[in-house]
């Protein structure tokens, strides 16, 4: 053992606690993980109580999904929409039409025997085409003509007369701001509320109305608000049944039309301590119709797909071409589908539906009791479900193991989703699935993170436990020379080996702590045998990683060659182990994935000896060559190869089948290192095929470093064809580099060295 001396101390291991302390630490970590998950659950519940717009958006989109999967289906159509469509506009001119035309349409509808007519239109101004207004606007008319026009009946009066001859509801629109209180006669509405509850404060509110002119209001049977009141995302899901307009209660167009059609019955609004519960149509000689609402008196619309069969054109009404049974006894809504009149709305089922059809579908919901509701206790149920799922994840499911946890979680989620769907599809109840599921998923992710930290601690323990054991040859050497049990070491040429398992985190997730230990023992045993069988010394096991060296403590003149043989032996033994594991997995009916490793060798002068403190030390090796070997092992992932060796190792063992891969400047180093791919033993190196491959690889690298991209690409193609899967990773890498440098030539001072960005 020739060489100089090196006296250095290394920090003692972190894992020298007694097993009882390890148990206490493990329990403490588990407790902290559960406590952290509980605090996260509380935070999520507070966010849900705050209910920001993002949470609302996700919730209502979930409700939209319900309706998309199971929309309303109505067998018959009690509502007909008389459509001011593009065809009618082409026939009768642009909107607004003369009120005489609307009067004629109203009279025609009355002749058809409709039950009632609702106008999704506000007639807020007198008809500009009335004879009197026309005469006033034409001062150049001869006096006799002007006098004759002013003596004629007005268009509004004719329309009012037509309205008076049938049950008709005119539209109105609420106004916010400083407008004067409304003068429109409100419908008869009775409010039933517990003592001390101000039901009006829950209604959708405004200060005044934009209503039709007085002459039309007085002739009509009622006035209903046509405001669509979309949600914050512009989608109509709920329509207010009642409004608080300047302290007076008004109804929506759909509610008012039903009320008028049933004989002008009284509408009863029932309120509870938390808000509005429902509205009820009641009157002599008719059964009560209860319509559930939300706490603000809004009705959830159970939408059906847009149906053109609901519509008839105004043109066909006026020309009398419709069969009588198409309109007789039905509720009629007058509205527009013409795009130019801007009454197109978004619903859960479509991004564009005429607004008048929203009123029509709401009327159908009410008449056929086809309601969807969100129960007042829905929030409580959702909070309970979220808490239950999260608590199961925190306290129960982790005891079942990873596979059972996944299956149990999927089963519980399936029950929750199924229950929510059954409540909607059978009873029309809207329960939010997004919050319980998102809450439980976030808690699960947090637990997974805490478990990952716990696994990291376990991995550190495994690492520390294995570093306490010495290779037999070291024990024998120390037994023969006990004087070496002193701190310090000597400088000598050595070959270092580092290996690591690819995807160890994913592998470890398949096992509990005991299973992972058994797996690691099974893997490390053949790997250790391969190293020791070639006169190597296992320095330490760093979790799934192995560090070994040659030429210490015993002299080994062929340390580089033995290290190369050991690396190839490790691959051979790994293939046998993978075969055994695959057969066992197939017999057990479980999936199997081969274990893959990366190995790196480097030769250099290092300091080897006892490192540590006077209380505890370890026989180990230090030096710059050790760091380079570790960095090269990390680069096996980057190049997609199994074994990389340094230039000095290749010089000491030139007989092996090796190919130069790159000039690389590893992390933390300034001097580039030439690295080689170890492909086989000397027998393979002597074959003509390998020698031809080596020449092509050498030609490719020479052309690449000379910036001759065409020659490099041609040589690379020959290397890829001959190298197959063994060289797929490096060939793909150089193919990308050549393509990049063709379009982005390197700087003039480029030396062909690649600087590694990671360890």
Q: Give the CB-side neighbour count of residue 539, counting CA atoms within 13 A.
A: 24
Q: What are the two backbone dihedrals, phi and then psi, of residue 467, each rounded to the nearest 5 degrees?
A: -70, -10
Which range of 6-10, 380-384, 440-444, 618-622 scores highest in mean pLDDT? It is 380-384
Identify the three-state secondary structure at position 139: coil
Which residues are CB-contacts of 495 (< 8 A; sequence separation ≥ 6)? Answer: 549, 550, 551, 559, 560, 562, 563, 601, 602, 603, 649, 652
Neighbours of 320 (CB within 10 A): 10
More confident position, 265 or 759: 265
pLDDT of 477: 58
pLDDT of 451: 73
Does 14 have pLDDT greater than 50?
no
Phi/psi zone of residue 609: left (φ > 0), alpha (ψ -120 to 50 degrees), beta? left
Identify the three-state secondary structure at position 78: coil
Rg of the Cα atoms in the chain: 42
Q: What is the pLDDT of residues 289-337, one digit of tens each?
A: 889 999 999 999 999 998 888 999 999 999 989 999 999 999 999 998 8
pLDDT of 485: 47
More confident position, 480 or 467: 480
Give the closest residue to 88 by CA, choosing from 318, 307, 309. 318
Exposure string over 559-591, b if 16+ CB within 10 A, otherwise e: bbbbbbbbbbbbeebbeebeeebeeeeeeeeee
Does 623 have pLDDT greater than 50?
yes
Q: What is the pLDDT of residues 654-667, one digit of tens each?
A: 999 999 999 998 77
Does 719 have pLDDT greater than 90?
yes
Res. 338 pLDDT band, cuts 50 70 90: confident
The span from the CA of 601 to the CA of 568, in Å, is 11
Q: Looking at the whole model, is its pTM more than 0.85? A: no
Which residues are CB-contacts of 743 (< 8 A; sequence separation ≥ 6)? Answer: none
More confident position, 403 or 166: 166
Mean pLDDT (whole number) for 226-241: 88
Does 147 have pLDDT greater than 60?
no
Give the closest residue to 275 by CA, choosing from 291, 294, 289, 259. 294
Does 468 have pLDDT greater than 50?
no
Does 29 have pLDDT greater than 60?
no
Mean pLDDT (whole number) for 657-681: 90
Q: Which residues pair with 565 in a beta bridge?
A: none
- The percentage of residues in the chain with a pLDDT greater than 90, rounded to a whole number, is 43
The per-residue pLDDT of the chain, averaged, comes to 84
Exposure string over 527-540, b if 16+ CB within 10 A, otherwise e: bbebbbebbbbbbb
Could you tell me the end-to-end alpha-carbon distance of the chain, in angstroms, rounded to an integer? Answer: 33
Does 460 have pLDDT greater than 70?
no
Q: Evaluate whether 712 touches 700 at the Cβ level (below 8 Å).
A: yes
What's the per-residue H, E or C state across 152-191? CCCHHHHHHHHHHCCCEEEEEEEECCCCCCCCCCCCCEEE
DSSP summary character for residue 151:
T
Q: What is the pLDDT of residues 261-276, one digit of tens each?
A: 888 778 899 998 888 9
Mean pLDDT (whole number) for 108-137: 83
Does 149 have pLDDT greater than 70?
no
Give the closest residue to 182 by CA, choosing from 205, 156, 159. 205
Neighbours of 209 (CB within 10 A): 26
Give the closest residue to 332 by CA, choosing from 360, 299, 370. 360
pLDDT of 132: 65
Ranges assigned E (strand) in 38-103: 79-83
Q: Evaluate whether 655 touches 745 at the Cβ level (below 8 Å).
A: no
pLDDT of 12: 37
């Amino acid at each position: 053992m020739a060489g100089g001396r090196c006296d250095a101390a290394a920090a003692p291991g972190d894992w020298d606690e007694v097993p009882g302390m390890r148990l206490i630490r493990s329990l403490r970590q588990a407790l902290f993980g559960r406590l952290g998950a509980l605090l996260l659950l509380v935070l999520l519940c507070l966010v849900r109580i705050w209910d920001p717009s993002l949470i609302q958006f996700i919730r209502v989109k979930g409700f939209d999904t319900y309706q998309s999967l199971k929309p309303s289906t109505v067998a018959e159509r009690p509502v007909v929409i008389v459509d001011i469509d593009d065809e009618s506009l082409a026939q009768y001119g642009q909107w607004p039409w003369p009120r005489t035309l609307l009067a004629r349409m109203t009279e025609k509808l009355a002749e058809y025997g409709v039950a009632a007519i609702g106008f999704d239109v506000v007639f807020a101004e007198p008809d500009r085409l009335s004879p009197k207004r026309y005469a006033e606007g034409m001062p150049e008319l001869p006096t006799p003509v002007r006098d004759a026009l002013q003596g004629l009946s007005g268009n509004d009066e004719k329309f009012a007369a037509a309205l008076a001859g049938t049950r008709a509801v005119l539209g109105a629109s609420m106004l916010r701001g400083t407008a004067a209180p409304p003068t429109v006669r409100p419908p008869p509405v009775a409010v039933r509320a517990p003592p001390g509850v101000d039901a009006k404060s829950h209604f959708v509110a405004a200060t005044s109305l934009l209503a039709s002119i007085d002459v039309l209001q007085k002739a009509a049977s009622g006035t209903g608000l046509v405001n669509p009141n979309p949600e914050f995302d512009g989608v109509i899901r709920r329509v207010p049944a009642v409004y608080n307009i300047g302290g007076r209660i008004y109804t929506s167009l759909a509610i008012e039309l039903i009320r008028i059609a049933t004989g002008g019955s009284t509408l009863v609004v029932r309120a509870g301590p938390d808000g509005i519960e429902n509205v009820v149509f009641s009157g002599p000689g008719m059964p009560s119709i209860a319509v559930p609402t939300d706490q603000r008196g809004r009705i959830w619309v159970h939408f059906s797909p847009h149906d053109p069969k609901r519509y008839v054109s105004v043109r066909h009404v006026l020309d009398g071409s419709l069969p009588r049974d198409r309109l007789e006894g039905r509720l009629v809504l007058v509205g527009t589908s013409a795009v130019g009149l801007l009454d197109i709305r978004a619903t859960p089922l479509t991004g564009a539906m005429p607004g008048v059809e929203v009123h029509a579908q709401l009327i159908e919901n009410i008449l056929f009791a086809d309601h969807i509701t969100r129960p007042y206790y829905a929030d409580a149920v959702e909070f309970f479900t979220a808490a239950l799922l999260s608590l199961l994840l925190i306290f129960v499911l982790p005891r079942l193991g990873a596979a059972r946890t996944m299956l149990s979680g999927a089963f519980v989620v399936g029950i929750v989703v199924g229950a929510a769907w059954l409540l909607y599809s059978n009873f029309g109840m809207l329960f939010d699935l997004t919050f319980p599921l998102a809450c439980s998923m976030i808690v699960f992710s947090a637990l997974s993170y805490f478990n990952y930290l716990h696994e990291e601690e376990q991995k550190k323990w495994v690492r520390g436990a294995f570093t306490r054991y010495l290779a037999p040859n070291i024990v024998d050497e120390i037994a023969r020379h006990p004087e070496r049990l002193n701190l310090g070491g000597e400088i000598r040429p050595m070959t270092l080996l580092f290996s690591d398992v690819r995807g160890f985190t994913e592998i470890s997730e398949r096992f509990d702590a005991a299973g992972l230990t058994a797996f690691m023992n099974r893997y490390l045993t053949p790997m250790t045998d391969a190293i020791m069988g070639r006169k190597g010394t296992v320095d330490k096991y760093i979790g799934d990683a192995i560090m070994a060296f040659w030429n210490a403590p015993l002299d080994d003149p062929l340390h580089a060659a033995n290290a190369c043989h050991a690396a190839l032996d490790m691959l051979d033994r790994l293939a046998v182990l993978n075969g055994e594991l695959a057969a066992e997995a197939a017999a057990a009916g479980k999936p199997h994935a081969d274990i893959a490793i990366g190995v790196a060798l480097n030769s250099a002068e290092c300091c080897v000896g006892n490192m540590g403190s006077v209380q505890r030390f370890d026989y180990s090796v230090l030096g710059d060559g050790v760091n380079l070997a570790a960095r090269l092992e990390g680069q096996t992932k980057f190049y997609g190869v199994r074994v990389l060796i340094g230039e000095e190792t290749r010089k000491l063992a030139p007989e092996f089948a090796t190919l130069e891969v790159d000039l690389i400047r590893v992390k933390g180093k300034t001097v580039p290192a030439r690295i080689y791919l170890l492909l086989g033993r000397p027998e393979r190196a002597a074959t003509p095929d390998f020698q031809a491959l080596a020449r092509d690889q050498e030609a490719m690298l020479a052309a690449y470093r000379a910036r001759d991209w065409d020659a490099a690409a041609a040589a690379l193609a020959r290397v890829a064809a001959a190298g197959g899967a063994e060289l797929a990773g490096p060939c793909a890498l150089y193919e990308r580099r050549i393509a990049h440098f063709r379009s982005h030539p390197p700087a003039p001072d480029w030396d062909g060295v690649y600087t590694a960005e990671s360890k």
